[in-house]
Amino acid sequence: MPATLHMHQRSTHHTATTQSSDALKPPRSRPPQFPSLPKLAPLPFKKIQHSSVTAYAHAAGQSASSTVLADTETPPLQAELEAAVAAVERACHLCLNVRASIHDDGELDEGDARLKKQDATPVTVADFGVQALISLELRRLFPDVPLLGEEDATQLRNQLKESSAPGGSLAEAVRAVVALVAPADLGSISVDQVLDAIDDGRAETTSQDRFWILDPIDGTRGFLRGGKSQYVIALALVQNGKVVLGVCGCPNMSGASLECDTCVPDATRGPVEEASTQENPRDQGGECTSSEERGPLDSNVRGLIVYASRGEGTWVRGLEKSDGLTSTSGRESLQSDESERRAALDAGREGAFSHSAWLQPQRVRVDGVKRLWDARICISDHETWGELPLAAALASTPHPEDSDDEGGRLHHAEEWEAKQLPLCCGSICKYVAVALGAASVFVQHPVSKPTLKVWDHAAALICVTEAGGQVTDLEGLPLQLGTGESEFAPGGGGVIVTNGGLHELALEAVRKGQQLLVN
């Protein structure tokens, strides 16, 4: 099979096999190994309790390798999930490398490293590099599974033709950042291979029953802006019309960026099964407050990998430290505001990126808030609470604490403002905030265009639902992301993401608020 296999070629090759149920079964071979990437912590599932055993052994001062696992049965999609997590993690390091080269004015060192797509979204070498890197790796491991991706290489090819300086093209810059983090199994990577890999995901549709969906960077503006702005590498697998796997790489996400220290279980409390049942302040409708014993979303930990697989829950761990993939100077430049952390790294002590307990995956669940008045609402940083449908609905509803007994002052709803989590940029980081319990509700409001892109939702959707949350359109119907089309039309023009328990209340409030704002 040619190395530069495109979508339409894959479809032709796979047509004869899609009618067979065997074609949809995960490969039964051993999960792929990635020798040049730091060893990944085993992915935890109900049937494989590696993480809980390892966390418990770590807490007891024992070696995880000395613990005998009673059940080593490989769960469904294990090979696909391990490959997806490894590919997304490499992509995170690619982004960190490129981000470290951005000057204060937002420009990149690699010459003209930003283009404008037709929709005026800024595109960087990181967008193209991530799609090329993940496409190359997925094609090597799963050659018959097509990819729907956001980018195509048309502009890169045109710029390459016009470039007069050998090696000075944007395409060469993309090749260089891919080669820096690519697994050794891919061998030497050429510009043509990179361009073909990007175009491997350019098709607008696929007729196959099994395919990947990739958003190389959701929130490119956040990537360029830096600071607390967010961006996410999002990869999902669709099988028989359903999203069955999702991985969200969040290189810039931390407890500080989510303004919450206690939204997920603390890795130091023992096995994840026990940690995940610890009382969470948000379960009582309270605010997330700092504590002496801070959880994994401590402000000293930046970089998260959030992933989920059908029926196996949602998990989070810190981004692996990579001595070979990301330079120390680049990492320090990116986080120059964290002087204490940087001093620890300079002194050669173990930092948060390589903290063994934090790198053990932790199962996460949505919060337990049951009243909209107590919910933390995730909004875009450019939105104003008072102008949103939820605000209009709640302002017209009596506050549950309104009382004039004994001459007490009324708690007027119009004077009340919800707890908010403003995040930039993109939709996926807001889904992730709900999955981690940092927010209770996120609403993507209708825009002028009636359709949305599947890659802006697929990977994050399963992370929310496997964490116990719920995602629908504004008519209360499931999102249709597995049709093979790159776009879908949500009912009501928007999407609502909640902790599940608030879903019907939030949906009703949004509808009411929309009517109030129109009238």
Catalytic residue list: 127, 220
Cβ–Cβ < 8 Å for 44, 271: no
Residues comprising the chain, all counted: 519
Is the Cα dihedral 499, 505, 507, 513 positive or negative?
A: negative
Cβ–Cβ < 8 Å for 452, 495: yes
Beta bridge partners of 377: 420, 441
* Lookup result for tokens 């993109």: 426
Strand order in the sheet with 376-380: 419-423, 376-380, 441-444, 495-498, 470-473
Q: Is 289 exposed, middle or buried (0-12, 13-18, 19+ CB in 10 A)?
A: exposed
Amino acid 476 reads G
Kindly give, in sequence order, each residue whose CB lies less than 8 Å from that of residue 129, ignoring residues fewer than 6 positions away.
Answer: 91, 94, 98, 174, 177, 178, 216
459: its two tokens: 């990977």
* Lookup result for tokens 């990492």: 331
- The helix/strand/coil state of 86 is helix
**C-alpha span between 467 and 498 (Å, rounded):** 11
- The helix/strand/coil state of 195 is helix
Q: Is 404 annotated as a binding residue?
A: no
Q: Is 473 annotated as a binding residue?
A: no
Amino acid 370 reads K
**C-alpha span between 462 and 218 (Å, rounded):** 16
Q: Is 150 annotated as a binding residue?
A: yes
Q: Is 217 annotated as a binding residue?
A: yes
The runs of H, that is alpha helices, within 101-153 are 125-141
Cβ–Cβ < 8 Å for 423, 396: no
Q: Is 323 annotated as a binding residue?
A: no
Cβ–Cβ < 8 Å for 246, 234: yes
H or E element, residue 458: helix 458-466
Kindly give, in sequence order, each residue whose CB lies less than 8 Å from that of residue 374, ignoring residues fewer than 6 positions away.
Answer: 285, 286, 419, 440
Which of 479, 404, 469 minimizes the C-alpha distance to 442? 469
468: its two tokens: 């116990």
Please report, in range form, the residues annotated as the binding site for Mg(2+): 150, 215, 217-218, 456
